[in-house]
Each structure stands twice: as C-alpha cells, then as structure tokens.
Amino acid sequence: MQKRVLFICSSILVLALAVSCGGGEQTTNLPPTGPGVAPPGASAPAATATVGGKITFEGTPPPNEKIQMSADPYCQQHSQNPTLETVKVSDGGLENVIVYVKSGMPNVTYPTPTDSVQIDQHDCHYIPHVFTMQTNQPLKVKNSDMTLHNIHAWAEKNPQFNVGQPVQNMVNETKFANEEVPLPIRCDVHKWMGAFVGVFNHPYHTVSKQGGTWELKLPAGNYEVVAWHEKYGVQTQMVEVKDNEKKEVTFGFKADSKPTE
C-alpha cells in the first residue's frame, strides 16, 4: 500500500513539473529558423524584388586577339575578320559578365528547370560566349557548321564532357550536377573556340547584355552579389532589398584593371 502511494505521488510530481516547465507545449529537436533559413521541405519565397544595373567600363577596350583560321577552310570562309570575344564593350558597358548571388538566398531546394539551355557552334564560334544555367538543367550542344567540332567541358567539380560532332545539325545533351563558376568550354579541333558557363544550384544568376545591363529577381533579403569576368576577375557587393523594391547596383571595371579572384 505504501509503495502504491509513493508511486502515485511521484507520478503527480512529474506531471506537475512537466506542465509548469513546458506549459503543455511539445518540443522538437529542429533548429530554429532565422534569416535565410527555411524549414525542411519549404519552398523559396516569391521573388518580388528587383536588383539590376550596369557593368560599366572605363578606358579604351583592349583589342581582342585576331584568329587565324587557315587550318580549316570552312571556318576561314564563313568568318570575316574573326577575333576572340575576351572583352566586349558596348554603350560604355561590359558584356559577358556573370552576375550571381553568392550568399543570402533562402536555404531551400530549388526545382530544376525542365527547359534546356543551348550552346551552338556557328561559323566556328560558340554562341553564346558566356551563359548560366542551373544544376541538372539540360544543356543542348549543337553543331550548325559543316565541319567537325569537338566540344570539351573542362570541368573541375563536374565530370568532364567531351564529344565529337562531325555532322551538321548534330545535337548532344548533357547536365552538370554540381555548382561551378566558371566552367570553361573548348573545342579540341579549333583551339580558338572558347566559352564559359556558370552552373548554380539556385535561379539567381544572369549575364550582362548589350550596354553591360543586367537584372535579377530576388526574394526580400540581404545578399552578396558577385560579378565575374573572364579577363578582369571578380567584384562583390552587398545589397539589401525589400518586397516589391527595385534597387540599382553598379559594378565597374577599368581597361587597366588587374584580374582579381
């Protein structure tokens, strides 16, 4: 009888302590959420903010190296005064700059786009010269020329893609599973042919266009935004935006700038 009373009293004491300490609420081992952190399985907030601007260029653009195509008569016939595309300036702005969010984006898994990105080999040049895509997004590689091309992705964080395309309008498809910026692409047959791709596990990336203009749609937040160029390297800025806010960010490169990592 005495043991039974002691058991009942102990049970009441434990219950009382649980109610007084926890207020009857359940606890979990999940980490607390905070800025840039989302619960498991959550989707990204709506990208209502706009961040954009211009990649300015100061000084006289250095001349791009002339290409000698005499080794392939087809290339020589179809390309007039060909040069490399290392520095392309228009309306005072630098084109072919990869602009992307490096940190601050919501920590969620982003859906993989089903639409494919395409790189074409046309008149013995890669079109586009610089582009971005998402991890596991399909990349179509096309040969529009009546000559042999061999496209070689010199990846370091992804398996290398290396395939010959001897037939006009031949198309191959590949994917990159890991983030990599930049991922160089070369042609083993025509050494002057080169391109660069930025591969990201989120959708917040783009390439500067005519006049060096660029634009990103982002959720509200505080972000580290990076601009990368094949000759002049990297520049970084922090930017904070609210829902439905538009903010201008300007990156600037100079003709005599040294490359930065």
Domains and CATH numbers, the chain: 46-109+205-261 (2.60.40.10), 111-201 (2.60.40.420)
Q: What does the pLDDT profile of the chain (261 residues) look like in tens digits? A: 444 444 444 444 433 434 344 443 333 333 333 344 455 557 889 999 999 999 999 999 999 999 999 999 999 999 988 999 999 999 999 999 999 999 999 989 999 999 999 999 999 999 999 999 999 999 999 999 999 999 999 999 999 999 999 999 999 999 999 999 999 999 999 999 999 999 999 999 999 999 999 999 999 999 999 999 999 999 999 999 999 999 999 999 999 877 776
For 209, counting Cβ atoms within 10 Å of its Cβ (0-12 exposed, 13-18 middle, 19+ buried), the class is middle
**Alpha-carbon span 86 to 129, nearest angstrom:** 9
Give me 3's structure tokens: 């043991």
Q: Closest by alpha carbon to 133, among 161, 91, 107?
A: 161
User: Which is it for strands 149-153 and 180-187: parallel, antiparallel or unpaired?
Assistant: antiparallel
Lookup result for tokens 């008149």: 123
Lookup result for tokens 């009293």: 9
R_g (Cα) of the chain, nearest Å: 27
**Alpha-carbon span 137 to 26, nearest angstrom:** 41
